[in-house]
Structure 1
Amino acid sequence: MTQTTLDPAPKKTRFSFPSAYTILFALIVIIAALTWVIPAGEYDRVASAALGKDVPVAGTYALTDANPQGFFDVILAPIAGFYDPGSYTANAIDVALFVLMIGGFIGVVTATGAIDAGIKRAMTRLKGREKWMIPILMALFAAGGSTYGMAEETLAFYVILTPVIIAAGYDALTAAAVVMLGAGVGVLGSTVNAFSTVIASDAAGIPFTDGLMLRFVILGLTFAATVAYVMRYAARVKADPSRSLVFDLKAANEAHFRNTSEATTDFTGLQKIVLILFGTTFAVMIWGVSLGGWWMAEMSGLFLFAGIAIGLIGRLGEKGLVDAFVGGARDLLGVALIIGLARGIVVIMDAGDMTDTVLHWAEGTVAGLSNVVFINVMYWIEVVLAFFVPSTSGLAVLSMPVLAPVGDFAGVERSLIVTAFQSATGVVNLVTPTSAVVMGGLAIARVPYERWLRFVWPVLLGLTIIIMAALSIGALMGGTPA
């Protein structure tokens, strides 16, 4: 009895981890403070016809006039983050609008009842075999990450896979892991990824096929380790839901992602047509990105068109269609705001001319090291740089022209430095709060950032051990033969 009356008191004093919005804004403030301490500097840059961008020239770093960021810069950073691409391949406003279009599209499909009926039918047929969804889906995402750098495109899949995985008896964290770790492992083990391996190799002055065999080995080992970890966690949650890291959010997440009403379980012909169109939309998106030269505008237009078409075919009526689309977009508005905040960090850093200074420090750190020590230090340098520049293509253009030639003096093949770069950025982009893909994906799956960190740190440790061992063997062998 006495214990019951005293229980509420500890809850009031208990530390509550801040939301993603608070974390990101705090990072903007911290980076702004660092611009008052870290010297401003720049490399000379030359135009690269192969990359279509200006690249830094090794050995040309010079200090510049400081541009410390103040109060008004901090306030404006999240706003500028929406339309200032910095080192990214797309403006944040493009990604934010893409997310809103996905939300509207999903809202319309959900209003037809097709998703709920389809999930119920799928779960009936998968009874007892649900666990095999995990390696199959992760393999598909890894293939996308390794071949064309699947990143922002994954945001669409959190919306459709989270309710399926929850319905299978797992939790929202499992869904987030399937998408983020699946695609992320593919990116860190990139083979022909144009946004990572190809750009980095071009910037390093080598063919992208150099070192391909070692990258296949890294991809295979890290994929196997990651899938085993996710399947182990998922099995534990299914056997005992209270062991879920998001167990306290279970009821809220199920209410959000699943229609728990006692609606009819009939799977009508019209709903089947809607789901066929639903799947076709994602197939067209993948084709457009990988082969059709599409990016955010085209993908946003696709989801807008598909949402309207499905609403008409599903007989929602004009008001029902509009309400469903706007309601779905409203559900993901918070995700769109997170994307702008995440980009605001990079805006502050670029405005304070910090990035080239950090790169210059890295250039001096690796001088005079043995080849094995050199390549492992290079890996950790790229890890640090990736926190500041979460875009793989942006970091490739920034760091490879400076750091790859340094390997010549250490007797390390440039292809191995490219492998260290892509592995480091792949690992960091599984957790960095400066990435719109990480923070946006977690927000869609309704997984708090600190829970994700608790879940993923053993994976990061395991991946790092595998990568450093592979890089060390590559250095001892004198490079990474294709």
Structure 2
Amino acid sequence: MKKLKFPSAQTILIVIAGLVTLLTWVVPAGEYDNLSYDSEKSTFIRTGPDGSTELPATQETLENLAIKIPLEKFTSGDIYKPISIPDTYQKLDAKPQGVAAFVKSPIRGIIEAADIIFLVLIIGGLIGIMNKTGAFDAGISWLGRVLNGREYLLIILVTTLIAAGGTTFGLAEETIAFFPILIPVFLAAKYDEMVGLACIFLGSAIGSMCSTINPFSVIIASDAAGINWTTGLTGRIIMLLTCLTITIIYILRYAKRVRQDPANSIIYEEKKNEKQHFKSHDESLTLTTRLKIILFIFSLSFIVMIVGVSLLDWWFVEMTATFLVGSVLIGFVGKMKESDFIDSFSKGAGELLSVAFIIGIARGVSVLMDDGLISDTMLFYASSFTEGMNKGVFTNSLLFVYGGLSFFIPSSSGMAVLTMPIMSPLADTVNIGREVIVNCYQYGMGLFYLFNPTGLILASLAIIKVGYDKWLKFVTPLAIILVGVTMLFLTISVYI
């Protein structure tokens, strides 16, 4: 009898979409009213099931709505998404999603996720151009000579740098670009694909989980909770350093076993009979001046992207344009023929087409939940569940509540504006600081993100051709450790 194979990422997401479709028939439909700021008219817009109304943009309006957020957070643009209004949840007529909605959800998801999908495809094209020039091979050979005997530094450096990006400006979707680039480097260092995946994905996850100045996470959540984002900053820095150290040690221990014996790799059986997805680098290539310039342009593309996102309010369109311009410049410096450039670019983009589809299908799951009006219902019952608890039990329960909610609301900024106005007042009832709610939100989302199928992990696994089951086997012990550390930290924080 043939051994059953774990389903692909696409199949997993389609099954999840089917289950969510069934949930819309079981979970009651409901919605909170929300409030947004119209900068052109300088007024608030309250939107609910009965329509929209304009309200004066004053602090008194916010107080009347039980929203404890300073007015300037709206007028300055710090809060730019509609926020939920406390105590306005109401059940609505059910909107169960049928077969037609289920079938159309991947298509609608792909359309809604077009911005990130085009970013992925353009990055794939850039990688194709780089491979054609031979710059990667020459660069990896040079790096191999520099790191000879000190390959562990690669793990520490990559994980730390990406975590720094995650904690400061929310480096997450952008890490998709790093897999085709860095995985061959880890393979050249005699590690396996899992080590490279762990350094990149876990670095981003830990950084985002323990965000310190991330505007898309801790800052917008603190604003929506009505507190200054610096409140609780010291504790988050301690958590960042603690969790990052634990993660790096965990990766290093696994990586050491793989280098000693490749058979110790979790994906050894999965990879030994498979054609090498990432081509072996040519050690005979010399890093010429031309190739150095190409590598400089390539690196500069990422530097420009990071500066643009963190300082110039760039998002997917600008990031995508940056990589497109980088591709053209590299083709020019590499003296590539037009036909070779187009062929290499198209081939590179094609390599990541399956990843783009996974991102779209995952977004389709969110479309089903939004159309079925069950996301706010989940939030309502989650907030009701934690009422009246002892503060220690409350805090740790909220950690898991946020982990569960992140399946339905995988966006960190979306989670913040939807839940903070509802959840943060609960802190007052159990006599804890509202920064604890912000921490529960960050840590709960961050821990579940490690294996959340509606997040980025399935797309990341698709790039390196590794099964979701293998990732679960690798990350589960680390997740258990991090959950224990997080619960201990939260418990101490509410009693000291």
TM-score (norm 1): 0.92
Q: Displacement, 1:255?
A: 2.8
**1:67 paired residue among 85, 91, 95:** 95
Measured in 1, the distance between the counterparts of 2:285 and 2:322 equals 30
Letter of the structure 2 residue corresponding to residue 163 of structure 1:
P
Q: Does structure 2 conserve the Cα–Cα contact (< 8 Å) formed by 1:166 and 1:254? A: no
Measured in 2, the distance between the counterparts of 1:171 and 1:78 equals 32
Letter of the structure 1 residue corresponding to residue 477 of structure 2:
P
Matching residue of 2:109: 81
Measured in 1, the distance between the counterparts of 2:351 and 2:340 equals 16
Q: How does 1:22-421 map to 2 (within 5 A)?
A: 22-47=11-36, 49=74, 50-84=78-112, 92-250=113-271, 255-259=276-280, 264-421=284-441
Q: Does structure 2 conserve the Cα–Cα contact (< 8 Å) formed by 1:175 and 1:445? A: no
Q: Deviations over 1:427-477 (max 9, x none)?
A: 112211101x22222212222212111111111111111111111001112
Matching residue of 1:5: none
Q: Deviations over 1:187-245 (max 9, x none)?
A: 11111111110111111111111111111111111111111101111111111101111
Q: Displacement, 1:254?
A: 7.4
Measured in 2, the distance between the counterparts of 1:125 and 1:220 equals 28
Measured in 1, the distance between the counterparts of 2:422 and 2:188 equals 49
Letter of the structure 1 residue corresponding to residue 473 of structure 2:
R
Measured in 1, the distance between the counterparts of 2:214 and 2:124 equals 28
Q: Displacement, 1:380?
A: 1.0
Matching residue of 1:88: none
Measured in 1, the distance between the counterparts of 2:314 and 2:411 equals 18
Q: Deviations over 1:258-290 (max 9, x none)?
A: 235x67333322222211211111111111111
2:463 matched to 1:425?
A: no
Q: Deviations over 1:106-130 (max 9, x none)?
A: 1001101110121112112211001
Q: 1:63 to 1:285 in 2, by over 3 A?
A: same
Q: Does structure 1 conserve the Cα–Cα contact (< 8 Å) formed by 2:95 and 2:371? A: yes
Matching residue of 1:3: none
Letter of the structure 1 residue corresponding to residue 193 of structure 2:
A
Task: Name structure 1 gaps, 5 residues minimum.
Answer: 1-9, 85-91, 478-482
Measured in 1, the distance between the counterparts of 2:333 and 2:275 equals 28
Q: 1:254 to 1:218 in 2, by over 3 A?
A: farther
Q: Does structure 1 conserve the Cα–Cα contact (< 8 Å) formed by 2:21 and 2:102? A: yes
Measured in 2, the distance between the counterparts of 1:254 and 1:473 equals 50
Letter of the structure 2 residue corresponding to residue 64 of structure 1:
L
Q: Does structure 2 conserve the Cα–Cα contact (< 8 Å) formed by 1:172 and 1:253? A: no
Q: 1:17 to 1:62 in 2, by over 3 A?
A: same
Q: Displacement, 1:256?
A: 2.4
Letter of the structure 2 residue corresponding to residue 411 of structure 1:
N
Q: Displacement, 1:163?
A: 0.6
Q: Deviations over 1:349-399 (max 9, x none)?
A: 111111111111111111111111111111111111011111111111111
3-state SS of paired residue (1:36): helix
Moved more, 268-277 or 233-242: 268-277
Measured in 1, the distance between the counterparts of 2:468 and 2:236 equals 29
TM-score (norm 2): 0.90
Measured in 1, the distance between the counterparts of 2:372 and 2:385 equals 22
Letter of the structure 1 residue corresponding to residue 402 of structure 2:
E
Q: Does structure 2 conserve the Cα–Cα contact (< 8 Å) formed by 1:101 and 1:303? A: yes
**1:440 paired residue among 447, 459, 473:** 459
Letter of the structure 1 residue corresponding to residue 190 of structure 2:
G
Q: Displacement, 1:246?
A: 1.4
Q: Does structure 2 conserve the Cα–Cα contact (< 8 Å) formed by 1:312 and 1:321? A: no
Q: Displacement, 1:423?
A: 0.8
Task: Name structure 2 gaps, 5 residues minimum.
Answer: 38-73
Measured in 2, the distance between the counterparts of 1:284 and 1:251 equals 39
Q: Does structure 1 conserve the Cα–Cα contact (< 8 Å) formed by 2:155 and 2:199? A: yes
Across the aligned residues of Structure 1 and Structure 2, the Cα RMSD in angstroms comes to: 1.4
Measured in 2, the distance between the counterparts of 1:229 and 1:64 equals 48
Q: Does structure 2 conserve the Cα–Cα contact (< 8 Å) formed by 1:45 and 1:56? A: yes
Letter of the structure 2 residue corresponding to residue 338 of structure 1:
I
Measured in 2, the distance between the counterparts of 1:165 and 1:228 equals 17
Q: Does structure 1 conserve the Cα–Cα contact (< 8 Å) formed by 2:277 and 2:464? A: no
Q: Deviations over 1:75-125 (max 9, x none)?
A: 1101111233xxxxxxx1100000000000010011011101211121122
Q: Deviations over 1:308-333 (max 9, x none)?
A: 11112112211111111001001000
Q: Does structure 2 conserve the Cα–Cα contact (< 8 Å) formed by 1:42 and 1:356? A: yes
Matching residue of 2:486: 467
Q: Displacement, 1:292?
A: 2.0
Percent pairwise identity: 42
Measured in 2, the distance between the counterparts of 1:352 and 1:208 equals 34
3-state SS of paired residue (1:46): strand
Measured in 1, the distance between the counterparts of 2:306 and 2:464 equals 21
Q: Does structure 2 conserve the Cα–Cα contact (< 8 Å) formed by 1:103 and 1:330? A: yes
Pairs aligned (count): 457
Measured in 2, the distance between the counterparts of 1:265 and 1:79 equals 44
Moved more, 286-295 or 250-259: 250-259
Q: Displacement, 1:47?
A: 2.3
Measured in 1, the distance between the counterparts of 2:102 and 2:430 equals 41
